[in-house]
Structure 1
Amino acid sequence: MNSRAYRYRSLAAKLAEDLRAGVYPSGTRLPSVRQLCVDHGASLATIVHALHDLEDAGLIEARPRQGFFASKAKKAATAPASRVSMELAGRRKRLMALAASQPDCVSLGHLALPASLLPIATLRRLMTRELRVDPAALSGGTVYGTEQLRQQLALRAPRMGCQFNAEDIVVTQGEGESLQLCLRLLSKPGDLIAVSSPAPLRALELIASLGLRALEIPAASEGGLSIPALSRALAEHKIAACLMEPSFYRASGGLMSEAQKQSLMDLLTQHHLPMIECDMMGELYRGAQRPRPLKSLDREDWVLYCGSFACITGTGFSLGYVVSGRWRLPLRAARAVHGELIPRLSDQVLAAFLASDAFDLHLRRLRLRLAKQVQAHEEAVLAQFPAGTRVSSGEGGYALWVELPGHLDACTLLERARQQGYNFVPGAVFSLGTQFDHCLRLTAAHPLDAARMQGLRTLGQLARELAAT
């Protein structure tokens, strides 16, 4: 661990000790940031980062144009110093707010595809045709998807090595609803959910919002999920369900091998453990063929397979779906009670799109474009970032996982980048711990034009400056 990069943590612990000792009584103002720099012989970035840690832990509070004040909350003031840097809930919220798309920032980390890569003309033509045939589709809705759409999805199952039919499919409003339906069905507040690490970002937020607890399962040394780690977790904990991305993690682009998937499926079957499989990027492979999802190895129906159109058609037609024979009836019932009706027009247009040659033509073109963009972005990052930077883009999708050398702090880099008009997704938000603090996710969703190239140059320069402090 680079002691310079993590000096702010020891400083945060020292300031926490001072707060508990009454050096800064409850409600009083701390010295200015510049005075703290002088008092502790630290850089401005180190002081600011330490103060943010204390703020996230509830030990101090920031007041606009006044500075930082010792918290009046007695509970926060008595928090153990050793836990200051581990109180991440507040930090996650702050970092996610910083990383969120902003009109004044060029987003270098979000996965939304630009209009130029979406099948807008085809969808518009199909929409016009559907409305001409069935004008009432504009006002109609369906509970769990029309027969036509579910049939088209089922027809594509053999291409993935799967066997399921239209009756096993529940269409949803998108990935978020799919995950929520599955989590509600398989668990109750307080239950433990095993998640792959780095974890799907939306999954961590949903698990917390439902009153569940996430147990992160680390990756194996050769990549993919560590099966022995999951086996040990099952021996030590009562786990209600697993939630993972075996194919093309949206954080790191990772892909579990066929052998790992088979071992994982054997373990799930042995323990009768449900698995929520997220497969948002499966169709965007860069190899010779689509990797088989875990569902293809599921002989006893323990896998609830979640797919989505968001990364293919864009958010305007981003319906999702869950495939499960074992749980299809309770999933349908839950949709009927808790879900909004699925717009029939969107459903019918997607069904027509899947039935046409245009769908596979679009996928072929999209894969080629994204493969070129990923290569261009990866080369640019390696050229612009400090020596020792590592970049992983996996074998599919269009996310780039960047590991900064010397454990430089990506959270500090994000704050500096935001001031320059750029943002990205910090690795810290893909975990409840600190193991990815030196990582960030970038995206190759857009062509590497001049504006994005300048953004990568800026990030690289800021990272080099951070390494020099």
Structure 2
Amino acid sequence: MNPYPVATPDTPSPASTTVPLYLQIALRMAQMVASGALKVGQRLPSVRDSAVQNGVSVSTVVQAFHYLEEHGLVQPRPKAGYFVASASKTLATNLVRKIRHQPAAAHAQTNTAPAVTAIKPLASFAGYSPKDKDFFDTDRIRVALSRATRLKRNTLIEYSSSAGTTALRDAVALRALHLGCALRGEDIVITAGCIQAITLCLQAVTQPGDLVAIESPTFFGFLDVLASMHLKALAIPTDPRTGVSLPALQLALQTQPIRAVLLVPTLSNPQGAVMPLTQKRALAHLVAQHQVPLIEDVVFNDLLASDARRKAVKAFDTQGWVMTCGSFAKTVSPGIRLGWVEAGRWSQAVATLKRVQGASTNAVLEYALADLLTQGNYEAHLRRLCLQMKQRLGQARRLIQTSFPRGTRVYDPPAGYTLWVELPVQVDTMDLFALCKAQGILIGPGQLFCSSQQYRHFLRLSFAGAWSAVEQDALTEVGRLACTLQADKQAKPAPDPTRIGRTDFMYGDRVCVHDLW
């Protein structure tokens, strides 16, 4: 599921096609408050639920909630959502009247999104899964699938082992040698992607309410998994080059009841940091010393060109405290939704969890993936992919350097599909997201990768999709819009400290609070 508010067709209410969608939603909310259906202090539905109920995009609902907040009808509460404000029935009645009598021309000027919501985005720098057909040998994938279907057709009418086929488990163990890990196929469990592997690991070592240490910033998918399992996240600061701060993690382990550590030590998402081998060794020793499991995501390790840099923390684990999760969606085929986990001390527990949950994976796909992984040209394919992305990221960095606001910093990961961009503090990337969406361009605001205001002027740009003149022009346009935002903020007078307001951007039920003017 794409985490970003994407440009999808929004179905207008039959009541009025001249009123923007976000105002139609705001009108319905105001009517419910005026009628007493929503009472003072009551929590509004989450942004995600409201989007589904109204058949609109998440960004449309966010705009509606912001409108209600600006008019005093609702108020945000950090990490809780939006609630009906006190003494709001009169406000609601007045707001209903205002929306109904607002001229259509004013609606057209206020709402900038409808111009692009009904068309396919011009360019997307938001997703992470590789979509460029040039990245993968589709003919080789098709042949492997055909061969597996022909030779293993009986598996289509049989129950397969919940842990996975021996062929793929052994192939994963063989590939793990490139990570510096000597794994046994019998200890490996095949999963439906890396996220499922991580979820199984968390289920094996935590209970609801437990504290899990994560990087900051981190992959938004991890935040969603933790929230869905009712786990608490403790953010550990990271360096964009060398990854998580080990002194900070050590202090947290000494002072907090941490039950698990969840990290991407190699090509972290979104920063692209790679921990030096000495720090990976120290990390393995640290979690063993404190007897706290480390859930290590190695999904990006193969994107590095050499085995020396690919080496996982698991390679330094001698006591089984590291639970290693991976997949080949970023290097073989995103469509073959298969991952794997070697859970160390908890290997049997993870295998049992997968079995009792009935989460068996498709045996034919497993045989096909095992075939692809053991073919002799896989390493050559990885080298071509690494070179291709290195050249693409270099081109993107040069475009950013020439078109983005002065003072912009672009981090330089050694590989991967994304760039982590720090814009001048005047540029709020949630505002930039709205401007870009109006132009048919999707980006990844930094707020999605944390639960605080720390990264509100950061941006993750993904180059895993097409990379033609259209995308390059779109990247230049993102820079131009960022320059416009910066100029607008600099032109405004200094704010009155007594009038600082707060607003919330909600992704699902997660609320990121930041100051706005």
Q: How high is the TM-score relative to the length of structure 2?
A: 0.72
Distance 2:377 2:277 in 1: 30
| CA displacement at 1:158 relative to structure 2 | 2.4
* Partner SS, residue 240 of structure 1: strand
Please list, as runs of the form range in 1=range in 2, the aligned pairs for 1:201-220 lying within 5 A after superposition: 201-220=220-239
- Does 2:127 correspond to 1:110? yes
For 1:130, the equivalent position in structure 2 comes to 148
Distance 1:454 1:341, change over 3 A: same
Q: Aligned residue for 1:177?
A: 196
The alpha-carbon deviation at position 151 of structure 1 amounts to 0.7
Cα deviation for residue 68 of structure 1 reads 4.5
Deviations 1:324-345 (A, max 9, x none): 2311111111001114221111
Report the Cα distance in structure 2 between the residues aligned to 1:138 and 1:361, rounded to whole angstroms.
32
Give 2:73's aligned residue.
70
Give the corresponding residue for 1:262. 281
User: What's the counterpart of residue 466 of structure 1?
Assistant: 485
Q: Distance in 2 between matches of 1:138 and 1:386?
A: 56
- Distance verdict in 2 for CA 1:294–1:53, change over 3 Å: farther
Deviations 1:282-339 (A, max 9, x none): 0001568433111111111100001111101232113110112311111111001114
Deviations 1:377-397 (A, max 9, x none): 111111111111111131121
Distance 1:222 1:152, change over 3 A: closer
Partner of 1:427: 446
Aligned to 2:304: 285
Aligned-partner residue type, residue 327 of structure 1: W
Structure 1 residue corresponding to 2:138, chosen from 107, 114, 120: 120
What is the Cα-based RMSD across aligned positions, in Å? 2.6
Change (3 A) 1:295 1:165: same
Paired residue for 1:294?
Answer: 313
CA distance in 2, matches of 1:273, 1:183: 12
Q: Give structure 1 stretches of 5+ with no counterpart.
A: 1-25, 29-48, 91-99
Q: Alignment partner of 1:305: what SS?
A: strand
The 1-side partners of 2:81 and 2:371 are apart by 44
Farther off after superposition, 242-251 or 350-359: 350-359
Is this contact kept in 1: 2:214–2:236, CA < 8 A? Answer: yes
Asked if structure 2 preserves the Cα contact closer than 8 Å seen for 1:108 and 1:442, the reply is: yes
Q: 1:277 to 1:337 in 2, by over 3 A?
A: same
Match among 439, 446, 453 for residue 472 of structure 2: 453
Instruction: Work out the CA distance in 2 between the residues paired with 1:215 and 1:252.
Output: 18
Q: Deviations along 1:116-138, whole A, 9 cap, x unmatched?
A: 21121111111112222232344
Distance 2:157 2:240 in 1: 52
How has the CA–CA distance of structure 1 residues 128 and 234 changed in structure 2, closer, same or farther, with 3 Å as cutoff?
Answer: same
Structure 1 residue 88: deviation in Å? 7.9
CA contact (8 A) 1:217 1:230 kept: yes
How far residue 112 of structure 1 moved from its aligned partner, in angstroms, is: 2.1
One-letter code aligned to 1:353: L
1:238-257 to structure 2, matched below 5 A, reads 238-257=257-276
The one of 208, 216, 223 aligned to 1:197? 216
Q: How many Å apart are 1:262 and its aligned residue?
A: 2.1
The residue that corresponds to 2:184 in the other structure is 165
Partner secondary structure for residue 437 of structure 1: coil
Q: CA deviation at 1:222?
A: 6.4
- Between the aligned partners of 2:240 and 2:328, the Cα distance in structure 1 is 32
Q: Residue type of the partner of 2:383?
A: R
Instruction: Quote the offset at 1:55 in angstroms.
Output: 4.1
Residue equivalent to 2:437 = 418
Residue 379 of structure 2 is matched in structure 1 by: 360
Length-normalised TM-score, structure 1 = 0.79
The answer as to whether partners of 1:224 and 1:255 remain within 8 angstroms in 2 is yes
Specify which of 422, 425, 430 is matched with residue 406 of structure 1.
425
CA-to-aligned-CA distance 1:85-136 (integer Å, 9 cap, x gap): x55867xxxxxxxxx9x83352112122222211211111111122222323
Aligned to 2:27: none
Contact 1:137/1:345, CA 8 A, preserved across alignment: yes
Structure 1: how far apart are the matches of 2:438 and 2:80? Answer: 23
Evaluate the alpha carbon distance shift between residue 468 and residue 87 of structure 1 in structure 2; reply closer, same or farther with a 3 A threshold. Answer: farther
In structure 2, relative to structure 1, the CA distance for the partners of 1:393 and 1:337 (3 Å cut) is farther
The equivalent of 2:93 in structure 1 is none
Q: Secondary structure at the match of 1:432?
A: coil
CA distance in 2, matches of 1:169, 1:383: 47
Cα gap change, 1:129 to 1:398, in 2 (>3 Å): same
| Counterpart residue type for residue 116 of structure 1 | D
| Structure 2 residue ranges without an equivalent (≥5) | 1-32, 36-58, 83-116, 489-517
SS in 2 for 1:218: strand
- The one-letter amino acid paired with 2:395 is A
3-state DSSP of counterpart to 2:146: helix
1:453 is paired with a residue whose SS is: helix
Distance in 2 (CA, whole Å) between partners of 1:89 and 1:70 is 14
The one-letter amino acid paired with 1:450 is A
Structure 2 CA distance for aligned equivalents of residues 143 and 222 of structure 1: 39
* Identical aligned residues as a percent: 31
- The one-letter amino acid paired with 2:129 is A
Q: Give the equivalent residue in structure 2 for 1:321.
A: 340
- For residues 407 and 287 of structure 1, the distance between their equivalents in structure 2, rounded to whole angstroms, comes to 40
1:151 aligns with 2:170: yes
Q: How far apart are 1:234 and its partner, in Å?
A: 1.7
The number of equivalent residue pairs is 395
Partners of 2:389 and 2:424 lie apart in 1 by 27
Query: Residue 326 of structure 1 aligns to a residue in which SS?
Result: helix
Equivalent position amino acid for 1:408 in 2: V
Cα displacement string for residues 209-235 of structure 1 (whole angstroms, at most 9, x for unaligned residues): 110110000014863211111122122
**Secondary structure in 2 matching 1:402:** strand
